[in-house]
Amino acid sequence: MRRKSANTPLFLGIFSFAFVTGCGDSLAALNQRAATGSIHEESPVLTHVQIQIAAPPAKVWALLIDAPNWPRWQKQIESVDAAGALTPGARFTWRTNGSRIRSQVQLLESERRLAWTGTAFTVKAIHVWELKPAPNNQTLVLEKESMDGPLMAKMYSSAKLTEGDNDWLVALKRAAEDQP
């Protein structure tokens, strides 16, 4: 017969706290990273993707900060609850692939850089967009994202995140190039 250790309740309490609050950096630390346009490069799940768009940065930027209208051109996004266009410090909630994400803008440099942090269940993420003017009135869009949380690498892969972010970039390209 196996005896129950006196430390079992302590272990279960620590394990439960870690599972509920998540692993990795605190949200405050992630907010600080995002405010500088950085992601958490040591995260178990991360991606760096880019795309060239045949539209000026102003046009691409207008689509990015108009969060309430993301579902019109980005079909993976089911809904967005935001007070309007994204602004510094703005909080917004959005749904994608059945998950509800609570986000806050940490960096907004008009027509140049946008970054937000987000939480869903025990997952914490940083999402950064950078727009660079390119020749012939085009825009190079660089996007990077990191995700932290307990068992994150077991539940979601960097390859899947890359696929999703590439889909977002292709949708952004289509929307920017199709608009008059």
Indicate whether 18 belongs to any domain.
Answer: no
In a domain, 15, yes or no: no
Residue 108 lies in a domain: yes
Average pLDDT over residues 162-177: 97
Q: How confident is the model at residue 23 (pLDDT cuts 50, 70, 90)?
A: low
Tell me whether residue 4 is in a domain: no
Q: Express each pLDDT in 35-61 by its tens digit.
A: 999 999 999 999 999 999 999 999 999
Provide the pLDDT confidence category of residue 18 given band limits of 50, 70 and 90.
very low
What pLDDT score does 56 carry?
Answer: 97
Q: Which domain holds residue 137?
A: 23-178
- The 8 Å CB, 24+ separation contacts for 160-167 are 161/45, 161/46, 161/47, 162/47, 162/49, 164/76, 165/47, 165/49, 166/49, 166/51, 167/76
Q: Is the pLDDT of residue 118 over 90?
A: yes
Q: Does residue 122 belong to any structural domain of this protein?
A: yes
Average pLDDT, the chain: 89
Over residues 73-95, the pLDDT tens digits come to 999 999 999 999 999 999 999 99
Whether 11 maps to a domain, the answer reads no
Q: Catalogue the E-assigned strands of the chain.
A: 45-53, 77-81, 91-96, 99-109, 113-120, 123-134, 138-148
Query: Residue 180 pLDDT > 80, yes or no?
Result: no
Is residue 142 in some structural domain? yes
CATH of the domain at 150: 3.30.530.20
Question: pTM to 2 decimals?
Answer: 0.86
Task: Check whether 31 has a pLDDT greater than 90.
Answer: yes
Q: Check whether 33 has a pLDDT greater than 70.
A: yes
pLDDT band at 10 (very low <50, low <70, confident <90, very high): very low
Q: Is residue 119, in this structure, part of any structural domain at all?
A: yes
Q: Quick one: pLDDT at residue 15?
A: 40
| pLDDT of the residue at 21 | 41
Residue 69's SS3 state is helix
Overall domain count for the chain: 1
